[in-house]
Amino acid sequence: MLERALASGYTFVGFDEVLDDQDSEFESLESPLELSRSKKDKGRILLRHDVDVDLSAAAVMARTEAQLGIKSTYFLMWRSPCYNLMSRAGQEYAEQILELGHDIGLHYDQGFDSSRSKSDQFSANQINLQADWIEHLLDCQVSAVSFHQPSKVLLQADVKCGKRVNTYDRSTLSGFRYISDSNRIFPLWVLSDESLSLDNKLDALKRCFPEDLQLLVHPMWWVYDEDSTRKVWNIALTNNFNKAQKQLLETERAYGPKREIIIKEINSQ
């Protein structure tokens, strides 16, 4: 799909580029209407990855995109229940993504704030704190913030992210059509005839040209060739255990021999 999008004329841009373009063009144009007209036929894709679960899958996708000459933004979590950004493996994967020429963003778990009845100002302060920390840890610039499983209330609240782009900011990104593969449902396929051939599916982005797109892709759904979301989850959980165990074997003598994790699904009806 990405190859065909490139061939159709699409260019892949970062969130910092969108802000820079807006700032420079507003200086020379008389109205926002003129700005929207000037961008009409450019065909830009803001390719974004919310890394909720598996940094190793993100690294695989990052290499594939780099081979195509595509830059995207990988949004990393402080509080992923599955991976530790501060572990050796976590930081190494993040550094690999940066070395491949991609951007890093903050994937913020605002639901944790809501569960403790924290204010919007508290969330705004935490966003800046976490984004600044990632910048220092990885020696990079964090230009954008995405929210993990945002509620309708959150999307309408217009949470301020300071100097960084809120990926759900309807004003800043009003010219971009939002497309997400959440829960492994890709709307450019599902909303079409389900009998579409693979060739037609691969043309999904090409058919959108020159419409500007914000495309949210979760790497784990595309990297692992399994027929169910549960099987993908099992692979991701096993991967994360093995990465943690590698560090344990290298550093903790009391840990003892290598373990094997076996995942058994239990019906809780």
Res 34 pLDDT > 50: no
Q: What is the pTM of this model?
A: 0.90
Res 234 pLDDT > 70: yes
Q: Which of 19-23, 25-29, 129-133, 215-219 has the lowest mean pLDDT?
A: 25-29
Confidence at residue 5, expressed as pLDDT on a 0 to 100 scale: 97
Q: Which of 11-15, 32-36, 96-100, 220-224 has the lowest mean pLDDT?
A: 32-36
Res 183 pLDDT > 70: yes
SS (H, E, C) the chain: CHHHHHHHCCEEECHHHHHHHHHHHHHHCCCHHHHHHHCCCCCEEEEEEEECCCHHHHHHHHHHHHHCCCCCEEEEECCCCCCCCCCHHHHHHHHHHHHCCCEEEEEECHHHHHHCCCCHHHHHHHHHHHHHHHHHHHCCCEEEEEECCCCHHHHHHCCCCCCCEECCCCCCCCCCEEEECHHHCCHHHHCCCCCCCHHHHHCCCHHHCCCCEEEECCHHHHHCCCCCHHHHHHHHHHHHHHHHHHHHHHHCHHHCCCCCCCCCCCCCC
Res 26 pLDDT > 60: no
Confidence at residue 31, expressed as pLDDT on a 0 to 100 scale: 42
Instruction: Give the model's confidence band at 38: pLDDT under 50 very low, under 70 low, under 90 confident, else very high.
Output: very low
CA dihedral in degrees (80, 86, 92, 95; nearest 10)?
Answer: 80
Confidence at residue 194, expressed as pLDDT on a 0 to 100 scale: 60
Q: pLDDT digits over 77-122, tens only?
A: 999 999 999 999 999 999 999 999 999 999 999 999 989 999 888 9
Res 58 pLDDT > 90: yes
What is the rounded average pLDDT for all residues in the chain? 88
Confidence at residue 172, expressed as pLDDT on a 0 to 100 scale: 85
Res 17 pLDDT > 80: yes
Res 157 pLDDT > 90: no
CA dihedral in degrees (252, 255, 258, 261; nearest 10)?
Answer: -110
Q: Residue 75: name the closest of 114, 110, 122 by CA.
A: 110
Question: How do the domains of the chain map onto residue ranges?
Answer: 2-19+38-254
Confidence at residue 149, expressed as pLDDT on a 0 to 100 scale: 83
Cβ 143 vs Cβ 16: under 8 Å: yes
Q: Which CATH number fits domain 2-19+38-254: 1.10.10, 2.30.30, 2.60.40, 3.20.20?
A: 3.20.20
Q: pLDDT digits over 236-248, tens only?
A: 999 999 999 999 9
Confidence at residue 213, expressed as pLDDT on a 0 to 100 scale: 97
Instruction: Give the model's confidence band at 53: pLDDT under 50 very low, under 70 low, under 90 confident, else very high.
Output: very high
CB count in 10 Å sphere of residue 194: 7
Instruction: Give the model's confidence band at 36: pLDDT under 50 very low, under 70 low, under 90 confident, else very high.
Output: very low
Res 163 pLDDT > 70: yes
Res 35 pLDDT > 50: no
